[in-house]
Amino acid sequence: MIAKLFAALLLLAPLLAPASTLDDIARLEQAKSGEDAAVQPQPQPQAPTQKEIAAQPESPQPATPGKSVWFQLSDGRRVDVGHWQIVHFVRSDCPYCHRFNPTLKSVSEQTGIGVFVYSFDGKGDAVFPKVMPVNDGILKDFFAELPQATPTDFIINTQSLVTIPLSQGEMSEEALKQRLEESFALAVRLGVL
């Protein structure tokens, strides 16, 4: 019962994150154009753009405009997830990450959903050697309501920036696929796909 409640809260918590992320991007763009330059602080190092996330080498099928990647729900519906990515948070010294990373990579390859990896210590591992270090903006965007645990995964729409928590901790391939299905079913119900 508590696990189901936590899972439901985990799935609903960051639905407000897209507005925050879009506001942050708008502020950065405003600063780039020189508007209010005297008032604006210098921007911190930016998180990768959605194009950079989509093009990371670990992504089995980088999102390309017009390309459909289909995910089959258990009720028979097919969902186009071509503009969705899994955002994966790790630490190089995390034993749970070392055990879960091959599972995540396998599910990614099976479903065609790419993986973008952030590392709390800036280091990767044998499965995901190329990572981006976590910065304060990323922590604010992804962990405003969640503990900073590894591994932690989200799915994010690279077009709309809708972000849905997927998992925290190690899990089996079957459990991860079930979470993906639940997350995409939620996205369909909310009309954010």
Contacts of 4 (CB under 8 A, 6+ apart): none
- Of these ranges, 57-61, 77-81, 129-133, 141-145, the one predicted with the greatest mean pLDDT is 129-133
Burial letters 80-110, b for 16+ CB under 10 A, else e: ebbbbbbbbbbbbebebbbebbebbbebbee
The residue type of 151 is P
* Residue in the structure block whose two tokens are 């154009």: 33
The architecture of the domain spanning 2-34+44-190 is: 3-Layer(aba) Sandwich (3.40)
DSSP assignment, residue 163?
E
- Residues paired with 23 in a beta bridge: none
User: Are the C-beta atoms of 182 and 87 separated by less than 8 Å?
Assistant: no
Q: Can you give the pTM of this predicted structure? A: 0.68
pLDDT at 108 exceeding the cut of 80: yes
Domain ranges of the chain: 2-34+44-190
Report the relative pairing of strands 152-157 and 163-168 from DSSP bridges.
Answer: antiparallel
- Cα 24 to Cα 22: distance, rounded to the nearest angstrom: 5
For residue range 48-107, what is the model confidence (pLDDT) as tens digits?
A: 544 445 444 444 344 444 578 888 888 888 888 888 999 999 999 999 999 999 999 999
pLDDT at 150 exceeding the cut of 60: yes
Q: Between residues 59 and 123, which one has the greater pLDDT?
A: 123
- Cα 84 to Cα 58: distance, rounded to the nearest angstrom: 14
E strands present in 59-183: 70-72, 78-80, 84-90, 114-119, 132-133, 152-157, 163-168
User: Are the C-beta atoms of 88 and 128 separated by less than 8 Å?
Assistant: yes
For residue range 25-41, what is the model confidence (pLDDT) as tens digits?
A: 444 445 444 443 333 33
Q: How many CB atoms lie within 10 A of CB 58?
A: 20
